[in-house]
Amino acid sequence: MVFSKTLSRASRNLPCLIRLIHRRFSYILGIETSCDDTGAAVFSASGKLLGDSLSSQTSTSVMLGGVVPPVAAELHKKHIESVVLDAVSKSNIRLQDLSHVGVTVKPGMSLSLRVGVDFAKTLATHLRIPIIPIDHMEAHALTALHTDPKLEFPYVILLISGGHGLLGIVQGVEDYILLGTALDASPGDVLDKLSRRLRLNRLGDERLKNVAGGKALEMVARIYNGNHRRFDLPLPRSQSKDCDFSFTGIHVFTEHLIDKLESSTSGSGHTLAMQDIADICASIQFAMARLICRRVQRAVEYCILQGDGDDNVSDVKITRPTALVVSGGVGANLVIRAGLTEVANHYNMRFVSPPPHLCTDNGVMIAC
């Protein structure tokens, strides 16, 4: 079975590194350049993180109003060597001690991916070591195994980011079953666009100046005590029998809401009051959390029924999951995490998520 459209049958040739590499090998380098973060990390063959480094383009993306592929690729080219050398240096090893190089090959922005792949090929050729292609989504799905040694298969996985919205069950390495996907826009993309629409980085608050859209929205809702119940946003497909997501309804409704509030505001530029902005941010966040939690709840119910054999309508054997794992940049949102924790507790499942800095793109998830 495939985990997503990006994890086709060919992705079964893109395994995680530790599964393939014998303990007699020494040090494994992972390189990540799928979007706008340049990441690298070094692991020992026993699975210990030795050192990692990351160069973020967040401030540039905020300034440009989003990720611009050619700009992102140029910044990857500028920083990738220093990021790799920094990760190796922090590991207290020499570059020539590396035994394998793993690099993200898909999915992602082609220009950005090419930078990482070309660098990995050059390095692997120079050091005469193997290069191993890694699937970005599989890496996200398995990162929690590194951060939580007690996590066991099978578990429900929710990947929510600026580029993806995927819901599935992980029954083993390379054993994924896709249960639901974002049918239109990803949750992170919607959060970023609404953040730009509200001009959160231009509110005059220095704390928001170089903060990415989704995170800025979360901060405004918290700092300015936004009322999440003031605006009743729609929850598209929240009652549908499948496990797919739709976030466009939240986006479109909120755009119209902002237009309406601005048109009714007197003064120059139809500028919204800070409390209006905070309430909108809180309402967006709350609606997003409710929608995601309902879809996850549907997926968990399905897995439990399949695992207990009460509703075995599928040819695929599904074992009852023991944990709910969330990853991806949107998975760092504390309101969404709180909601998902409640869902997990309701079904006596563990809620597991990597630390926020490992939910976003990084080299650690590629090397681990």
Two tokens, residue 135: 């699937």
DSSP calls for 180-230 = EEBSSS-HHHHHHHHHHHTTGGGSS-GGGTT--HHHHHHHHHHHTT--TTS
CB 195 within 8 A of CB 211: no
pLDDT above 90 (res 267): no
Tell me which amino acid residue 144 is. A
Q: Work out the number of other CB atoms within 10 angstroms of the CB of residue 297.
A: 19
- What single-letter DSSP state applies at residue 198? T
pLDDT band of residue 303 (cuts 50, 70, 90) is very high
Supply the pLDDT for residue 25.
53
Task: Quote the DSSP letter at residue 182.
Answer: B
Q: In this predicted model, what pLDDT tens digit does every residue of 117-174 receive, in sequence order?
A: 999 999 999 999 999 999 999 999 999 999 999 999 999 999 999 889 999 999 998 8
Q: What is the pLDDT of residue 12?
A: 42
The residue length of the chain stands at 368
Handedness of CA 219, 220, 225, 231 (dihedral sign): negative
Q: What is the pLDDT of residue 311?
A: 53
CA 180 – CA 299 distance, rounded (Å): 8
Q: Tens digit of pLDDT for each residue in 5-38?
A: 333 333 444 445 554 444 345 899 999 999 999 9
**How do residues 197-219 score in pLDDT, each as one tens digit?**
999 988 989 999 889 899 999 99
Position 284 scores a pLDDT of 98
Q: What global pTM score does this model have?
A: 0.87
CB 166 within 8 A of CB 4: yes
pLDDT for 314 beyond 70: no
pLDDT band at 2 (very low <50, low <70, confident <90, very high): very low
Q: Tell which CATH architecture fits domain 9-150+360-367.
A: 2-Layer Sandwich (3.30)
Domain spans of the chain, in order of start: 9-150+360-367, 155-352
Cα–Cα distance for residue pair 368/48, rounded to 1 Å: 8
- Give residue 265's pLDDT: 78
- Sign of torsion over alpha carbons 269, 270, 273, 276: negative
The fraction of the chain above a pLDDT of 70, given in percent, is 90
Give residue 66's pLDDT.
87
**How high is the pLDDT of residue 23?**
37
Torsion of the alpha carbons at 75, 79, 83 and 89, rounded to the nearest 10: -170
pLDDT mean over 289-295: 97
Res 355: pLDDT: 93
CA distance 170 to 183: 21
pLDDT of residue 82: 98
**188 with 328: CB under 8 angstroms?**
yes
Residue 279, both tokens: 């309430």
309 pLDDT band (50/70/90 cuts)?
A: low
- List Cβ neighbours of 348 (8 Å cut-off, separation of 6 or more): none
User: Are the beta carbons of 6 and 175 closer than 8 angstroms?
Assistant: no
104: left (phi over 0), alpha (psi -120 to 50) or beta: beta
For 213-250, what is each residue's pLDDT tens digit? Answer: 999 999 999 999 999 999 999 999 888 899 999 999 99
Mean pLDDT of 307-324: 75
Tell me what the mean pLDDT of segment 263-284 comes to.
85
| Structure tokens given for 340 | 């998902």
One fold for both 9-150+360-367 and 155-352?
A: yes
CA dist 222 to 75, 117, 338, Å?
32, 40, 14
Strands 98-106 and 37-44: unpaired
Higher pLDDT, 2 or 255: 255
60 closest CA partner among 171, 190, 210? 210
Q: What is the mean pLDDT of the chain?
A: 90
Quickly name the fold that domain 155-352 has.
Nucleotidyltransferase; domain 5 (3.30.420)
